[in-house]
Structure 1
Amino acid sequence: MARFLFVVLPVVSHLSAPLAVGQALEAAGHEVAWCGPRSDLRPLIGPDATLHPTGKRHYRPDAASGMDSVRSLWAGHVLPANRFIRDAADRAVADYRPDVVVADQYALAGALAAHRHGVPWATLCVGVLELTPPTDEMPEFDDYVHAQLARVWAMTDLPVDPALDLRFSPYLVIGLTTAALTGPAALPARCVLIGPALGRRPNAPGFAWDAWDPVRRHVLVTVGTMAEHLAHDFYRRIVVATAPLADRVQVILTAPPGLVPDPPAHVLVAPRVPVLELMPRLDAVVSHGGLGTVSEALAHGVPVVVAPIRHDHPTVARQVTRAGAGRTVSFRTATPAELTSALAAVLDDPAYAAGARRVAESFAAAGGARAAAAHLAALAASAPLSHQEAR
């Protein structure tokens, strides 16, 4: 059996997939350790799991879109976060001596540490911004990102390897999607698409099931955990938009206390919900376009209304629309009437549910977390004997 070290960043939406893959590896008899923020990881991995803590650097994204959001992502989060965890990631690889490092695509310090110590690593792509870059809409994207990668190399004393793109492992790249969404997009070398990685979530919150109306249809509205500070007006418009549907639709809206004051009777507001428990019971999801939430919905055959905000959200929205699994609206400018129309369409037109089911079938065939674990185990088995003996 092999040893795997997961290197993650302190972004809640980036933790569910590696957790599921780690669970699948452990179920197959492998040993799994973690490098990341103790406060985020310990409730997920339990008290006995091996954890190499990095500390936590908070990231509060702004409302920028397009290339401005990409610049904000790299300058405000990726670069400082990797500078912050660089030494901890290096110590974790040196001390734990894994057979394979599994690094979040933006945890570039994990890739660098593996490279330094001669350990093969896999890239886990929890979004599609890098996997299927929006170069048609952002022609400067590639040049800008490569300039930022040069700055990452400059954080170390390692000689720059111009053939090595730290975003994509030369050993294995795992994408949490399928061709049903990406279409014919060119993918990195050694890339496998396994669909969403879904597993147990020990920190899932409870839910007020006594308020659940079994007669009405159900819609989950969420903008994830990183954009709630931008969502006040969007949520206001959603509440107005769903009023004409209130006799037949119940809305479950995730928002912190006070963001949606005095919700009407057809709207249940909760700061967090057990998403995977809710999904089989939902008829539609309204989302900002984070790949995790959208994939979780589509994995259950639930159509989506996507209101993209930034980063890879517009790409996800285009992919959902192209797959016939949902509609796209403007997060910033969609009127209540436009939101009502989009939501009524995905609820009432069976073509959208059929599109979501087609994507769900592709996800199931791709294998999810168990497929990722199998690819990682194969990579560990192919590691040079010299490396395994050194451990």
Structure 2
Amino acid sequence: MRILFSSTPAHGHVLPLLPLERAARRAGHTTAFLTHSSVAELAAPTRVHSAGAALPDTLEEFRRRTGTDATTDMSPATVGEFFGGTRVDLGAEDALGAARDFAPDLVIAETADFLGPLVASRLGVPWASHGVGIALEAPLAEAMWATAAARARERDITLVRPFASVDPWPDCLQRDDWKPSQDRITIRPEAHEGEGASDWEAPVFDGREHLPCVLVTLGTVIDDADALTALAASLMEYDINIVIALPPSSEPRTLPVQSPAVRVTGFVPMARLLRGVDAVVSSGGAGTVLSVLGAGLPMVIWPLGLDKPLNAERAAALGAAEVIGRAGEAGAAVTRVLETPSYRDAARTAADRIAAMTPAEEVLSLLTSRSG
């Protein structure tokens, strides 16, 4: 079977698809990605069919059209027009051409991507939706679909609904009023490991090996050296070792922090960063929250925009995280998380629930059998 994976060109949208894509490749299927070439390294060695614009260019075009910053505005109008409108306008022709060339038997598109559904509907092949985080509230999902459907009609295409919804977000992290859809298939989320060799080695803290180690990350999108420096300053007031991971856009820059307690690194797959770590300080991105909880580690979350406050609230409701309102609170919060066993206990309980979710190989089998 030829399976096309389609995604918004951003780390947090591509990475959740990788476990299923890797499973498909291991099973002998031919796979490819439909996204922008700016994230081709993430998908490697799988071929990427480039469509549309890179994320920064799409954001800039949306700002030019609407005067709105889509990185800070989560209103249905903005979300709908950005994902269902601007991105479709910029990528539709590329996507349709690439899909004709690849000739997929099945399309799997992440929740915010509508190029995949567009080409599946044009080619008459089945497609499945794949979540990237907490379930979208109905007004957001409806706004994206309505806008994308209108853009499809402009191209004489009737947008077809997915036959299944693959969901990596565990029940225990969903909203209290959430109800699963009838077509939902859970998939066990996996921290990004990367393929091939890596020169990353966990840092050594000479003479400080007995102290707990804390990872600090603001994810792959937020590039705020001042925020990371402020977090480091707060944490350095306490006896802990600190690993700070910069976003991909920051490389090869570092931070103005010099201390035997601090090590700064560029982008490293999350699964590798988490080895030897006792707790994590983050901005609450979906991929980070799932990876950290999947490893059974407690968190301190400083939520910085978009879906992050909700992710933080849900992790805190589990008892696995403490939420802070400013960088200066990080050190004291980390100390409480490390010294209070209930945080780690709650994180380990969440890890058990995540481990019980459906593995990618079984999800692949369900999708291929249902799509026939």
Shared fold per TM-score greater than 0.5: yes
Q: Using the alignment, how far apart are the partners of 1:362 and 1:189 within structure 2?
A: 21
What are the superposed Cα offsets for residues 288-320 of structure 1, whole Å, 9 maximum, x if unpaired?
A: 111111111111101111111222111111110
2:90 is paired with a residue whose SS is: helix
1:366 is paired with a residue whose SS is: coil
- 1:79 has 2:85 as partner: yes
Partner of residue 195, structure 1: 188
> Which amino acid is 1:179 matched to?
D
- Matching of residues 264-279 of structure 1 within 5 Å: 264-279=259-274
CA shift at 1:204, angstroms?
7.8
CA shift at 1:118, angstroms?
1.8
Q: 1:234 aligns with which of 208, 227, 231?
A: 227
Which one is further off, 212-221 or 291-300? 212-221
Query: How many residue pairs get matched?
Result: 354
Q: Using the alignment, how far apart are the partners of 2:144 and 2:70 within structure 1?
A: 21
Q: Using the alignment, how far apart are the partners of 2:144 and 2:202 within structure 1?
A: 47
- 1:310 has 2:305 as partner: yes
> Which amino acid is 1:12 matched to?
H
Q: Using the alignment, how far apart are the partners of 1:56 and 1:93 within structure 2?
A: 17
Query: Taking structure 1 as reference, are residues 155 and 180 closer, same or farther at Cα in structure 2, changes over 3 Å only?
Result: same
What are the superposed Cα offsets for residues 186-238 of structure 1, whole Å, 9 maximum, x if unpaired?
A: 2333112223144641378533545345322111111112111xx33422321
Q: Is the 8 A contact 1:204 1:273 kept in 2?
A: no
Q: Using the alignment, how far apart are the partners of 1:149 and 1:63 within structure 2?
A: 17
- 1:223 has 2:218 as partner: yes
What are the superposed Cα offsets for residues 359-387 of structure 1, whole Å, 9 maximum, x if unpaired?
A: 1111111034334323322333xx2xxxx
Q: Using the alignment, how far apart are the partners of 1:65 and 1:44 within structure 2?
A: 27
Q: 1:352 aligns with which of 338, 343, 346?
A: 343
- 1:152 has 2:148 as partner: yes
> Which amino acid is 2:29 matched to?
H
Q: Using the alignment, how far apart are the partners of 1:105 and 1:39 within structure 2?
A: 20
1:98 is paired with a residue whose SS is: coil
- 1:374 has 2:371 as partner: no
> Which amino acid is 1:189 matched to?
Q
Q: Using the alignment, how far apart are the partners of 1:224 and 1:323 within structure 2?
A: 21
- 1:250 has 2:241 as partner: yes
- Matching of residues 1-391 of structure 1 within 5 Å: 2-41=1-40, 44-46=43-45, 49-54=46-51, 56-59=53-56, 65=72, 67=74, 73-76=79-82, 79-128=85-134, 131-133=135-137, 142=139, 146-157=142-153, 169-182=161-174, 184=176, 185-198=178-191, 200-202=193-195, 206-209=199-202, 211-212=204-205, 214-228=209-223, 231-245=224-238, 247=239, 249-255=240-246, 256=250, 258=253, 260-330=255-325, 334=326, 336=328, 338-380=329-371, 383=372
Q: Using the alignment, how far apart are the partners of 1:307 and 1:368 within structure 2?
A: 31
Q: Using the alignment, how far apart are the partners of 1:27 and 1:145 within structure 2?
A: 32
Q: Using the alignment, how far apart are the partners of 2:90 and 2:196 within structure 1?
A: 26
Q: Is the 8 A contact 2:7 2:35 kept in 1?
A: yes
> Which amino acid is 1:211 matched to?
V
Q: Using the alignment, how far apart are the partners of 2:157 and 2:94 within structure 1?
A: 21
Query: Taking structure 1 as reference, are residues 297 and 66 closer, same or farther at Cα in structure 2, changes over 3 Å only?
Result: same
Partner of residue 64, structure 2: none
CA shift at 1:88, angstroms?
2.5
Structure 1 residue ranges (4+ consecutive) displaced by more than 6 angstroms after TM superposition: none
Contiguous gaps of at least 5 residues in structure 1: 134-140, 384-391
Query: Taking structure 1 as reference, are residues 147 and 35 closer, same or farther at Cα in structure 2, changes over 3 Å only?
Result: closer
Query: Taking structure 1 as reference, are residues 198 and 340 closer, same or farther at Cα in structure 2, changes over 3 Å only?
Result: closer
1:354 is paired with a residue whose SS is: helix
CA shift at 1:87, angstroms?
1.9
Q: Is the 8 A contact 1:194 1:368 kept in 2?
A: yes
Which one is further off, 49-58 or 114-123? 49-58
Q: Using the alignment, how far apart are the partners of 1:51 and 1:145 within structure 2?
A: 26
Which one is further off, 318-327 or 254-263? 254-263
What are the superposed Cα offsets for residues 330-376 of structure 1, whole Å, 9 maximum, x if unpaired?
A: 2xxx252x222221122111111111111111111103433432332
What are the superposed Cα offsets for residues 122-171 of structure 1, whole Å, 9 maximum, x if unpaired?
A: 1111122xx142xxxxxxx71x663453332232336786xx7x7xx541
Query: Taking structure 1 as reference, are residues 86 and 29 closer, same or farther at Cα in structure 2, changes over 3 Å only?
Result: same
Contiguous gaps of at least 5 residues in structure 2: 60-68
Determine what percentage of the aligned residue pairs are the same residue.
26
Query: Taking structure 1 as reference, are residues 53 and 235 closer, same or farther at Cα in structure 2, changes over 3 Å only?
Result: closer
1:32 is paired with a residue whose SS is: strand
Q: Using the alignment, how far apart are the partners of 1:170 and 1:207 within structure 2?
A: 39
Partner of residue 66, structure 2: none
What are the superposed Cα offsets for residues 89-125 of structure 1, whole Å, 9 maximum, x if unpaired?
A: 2233333332210011111121122122221111111
TM-score (norm 1): 0.81
Q: Using the alignment, how far apart are the partners of 1:81 and 1:204 within structure 2?
A: 34
The structure whose RCO (Cα within 8 Å, separation 6+) is larger is 1
TM-score (norm 2): 0.85
Q: Using the alignment, how far apart are the partners of 1:43 and 1:150 within structure 2?
A: 30
Q: Is the 8 A contact 1:301 1:357 kept in 2?
A: yes
1:281 is paired with a residue whose SS is: coil
Q: Using the alignment, how far apart are the partners of 2:200 and 2:281 within structure 1?
A: 19
